[in-house]
Amino acid sequence: MLIFFSQRPLSRAVRATAMLLTLGIIVSLFVGGAQPVAVNLIPAPWDKLAHGAIFALLAWTIGVASGLPGRRGLVVALLGSLLVGMLDEWHQMYLPGRHAGWLDLAADVSGSLTGTALLAIGRIRGG
């Protein structure tokens, strides 16, 4: 398990898996989130927890998929997940029954920071 966090170059298979997870999360957010069933799928306040968990995982997968060492990988993970969060909230403004919200964006930011922090901690321990 420590290979995921190591400062050593990650194998192509690990990075490819992380890339596929990243794409899967993004497609789920934008395509799945546009479906009528997505309206109020997770009730408040649990939806904020779901936002945080999804964006923590997204930040982590982006960081692993990037393969960049040190701070560069962490910056890419954080900024990439924040960009997806902002685009997701913007996208929701145009979907029937969906609403963009500052609290949702705050949960996305919180999750992105958590995922990036976990990535950093793992790299310190594994490196």
State pLDDT tens for residues 64-104.
999 898 899 999 999 999 999 999 999 999 888 888 889 99
Its sign, for the CA torsion 66, 72, 78, 81, is: negative
Matching residue, tokens 């997204």: 58
Residue 35 φ/ψ region, left for φ over 0, alpha for ψ in the -120 to 50 degree band, beta for the rest = beta
Element spanning 66, H or E: helix 46-66
Whole-angstrom distance, CA of residue 27 vs CA of residue 85? 13
pLDDT of residue 96: 87
pLDDT tens-digit profile of 8-40?
566 889 999 999 999 999 999 999 888 888 888
Residue 105: its pLDDT value, please? 95
Rounded alpha-carbon distances, angstroms, from residue 11 to 5, 16, 82, 106, 123? 12, 9, 26, 34, 15
This prediction has a pTM of 0.86
What confidence tier does 44 reach under pLDDT thresholds 50, 70, 90?
confident
Write out the H or E segment, with its range, that includes residue 57: helix 46-66
pLDDT one-digit tens code per residue, 97-122: 888 889 999 999 999 999 999 999 98
Mapped onto helix, strand or coil, the DSSP state of residue 113 is helix
When pLDDT is cut at 50, 70 and 90, the band that residue 126 belongs to is low
pLDDT band at 3 (very low <50, low <70, confident <90, very high): very low
